[in-house]
Amino acid sequence: MDKNSVKPSEGKLGILCVGLGAVSSTFITGVLMIRKGMGKPIGSITQMAKIRVGRGDKAEYKHVSEIVPMPALDDIVFGAWDILPDNAFESAVHAEVLKDRDIYPVKEELEKIVPMRGIYDQDYVKAIDGTWTKDTTLTRWQLMEQAREDIRNFKEKNGCSRIVVIWAASTEIYIPRDKNVHDDLTAFEAAMKADDRQHISPSMCYAYAAMSEGAPFIMGAPNTCLDIPAMWQYAEKTGTPIAGKDFKTGQTMMKTVLSTAFRTRMLGVSGWFSTNILGNRDGLVLDVPENFKTKEVSKLGVIDTILKKDEYPDLYGDIFHKVRINYYPPRNDDKEGWDNIDIFGWMGYPMQIKVDFLCKDSILAAPLLLDLALLGDLALRAGKSGIQTWLSFYLKSPMHDDEHEPVHDLFQQYTMLKNAIREMGGYEADEEID
């Protein structure tokens, strides 16, 4: 790709978060503090990483913004939807992720970020009673149209030249793909107008609304939302980039590293048991079996894809893999993920690896939101549309169409990311994925 084919980043970029809970408030507060020089964007590749361009004597290591045109953090305007009325300051305080010293210096700015009323259906998030919602009697199509109007109004009010919409709200119940509704755009639109609540989720309304307004849409939860042909068709029709799903933060990030190491060393795996405890709103929602099912599907696919059991049946052909998530309020956003991994080596002799990852869920997620929003905007300015597989690095269950398999290997994903940035910067994509 010619570097000149990527449009410059001119004007303000609006980032609209669906959900103004712990993750979004931590993300927004962090960016505002970084803009004041009171924090560092640790964990953000777009802000901190250097990527090699050129080879041999011509090799240079450059920040992303030196390779492709990127918006400055000062050029970002934040907005949100939520089903609860708390502004960004109230949400950040209630989340108890950040300390007062990292919230109060930007209190005035946070208080101005008041969420727009969210699209709510309690059948999809049974553990939360929405009190700040759009009219629940409206059809899915009407709710989508209201979300479109919200985007247009926000864009005009804040003088934004472009918008990115990113889902950072709760995990919805699992929706199996229905070919009669989800595989054809015309049928999907008809289902929205007919208020088919069984097959059309609230997140689908946001995604369709965003694409209708030319805004990239990022799915940060394991919702079915974008994983259907109708959405792929609409993304191509509207020329908008889409990416998902499920932010890759703690346990799954470790799985992508460890399982890659096992396959590289040709060490066998007989079992992998994973469990988590967390006490934030996400944990509360996932305590409901129907919502956990959605997360479980997202998490379970990682190991099989990386280990390639069909290619290596002696090593990975009979893995017992189980995932559990438990709501434990005393921990709040401090998530603890345990992994017990039963491996075997030379002559089949068994060994065990145990990992105890004590992490802050929102702290790990915040830089992912920043990178995904900025890179989604970059994709739009580069004329990319449809599924952005090069963003798989950031996601637990990377999107893919029916003709391709997802790449889960973290290091292969990073190569895809770097090559895409190189190409958009007018450089050669000079690393291969085996």
Residues sharing a CB contact under 8 Å with residue 432, sequence separation 6 or more, in sequence order: 415
Mind listing the pLDDT tens digit of every residue in the chain (434 residues)? Answer: 666 689 999 999 999 999 999 999 999 999 999 999 999 999 999 999 999 999 889 999 999 999 999 999 999 999 999 999 999 999 999 999 999 999 999 999 999 999 999 999 999 998 889 999 999 999 999 999 999 999 999 999 999 999 999 999 999 999 999 999 999 999 999 999 999 999 999 999 999 999 999 999 999 999 999 999 999 999 999 999 999 999 998 888 889 899 999 999 999 999 999 998 888 777 777 667 766 666 566 556 778 888 988 999 999 999 999 988 888 889 888 889 999 999 999 999 999 999 999 989 899 999 999 999 999 999 999 999 999 999 999 999 999 888 888 888 889 999 999 999 999 999 999 887 76
Reduced to 3 states (helix: H, G, I; strand: E, B; else coil), residue 261 is: helix
432: exposed, middle or buried (Cβ count in 10 Å: 0-12, 13-18, 19+) = exposed
CA dihedral sign of residues 195, 219, 279, 20 = negative
Question: What are the domain boundaries of the chain?
Answer: 3-247+363-424, 251-359
Count how many Cα atoms sit within 13 Å of the Cα of residue 225 in the half-sphere of its side chain. 35
Residue 185: its H or E element = helix 185-193
pLDDT of residue 282: 72
Superfamily for domain range 251-359: Dihydrodipicolinate Reductase; domain 2 (3.30.360.10)
Residue type, 97: V
Reduced to 3 states (helix: H, G, I; strand: E, B; else coil), residue 227 is: coil
Q: What are phi and psi of 130, to 5 degrees?
A: -75, 130
Q: Which CATH architecture has domain 3-247+363-424?
A: 3-Layer(aba) Sandwich (3.40)
CA distances from 299 to 35, 254, 273, 332, 429 (A): 35, 12, 12, 21, 30
Indicate yes or no: pTM above 0.85: yes
pLDDT of residue 72: 97
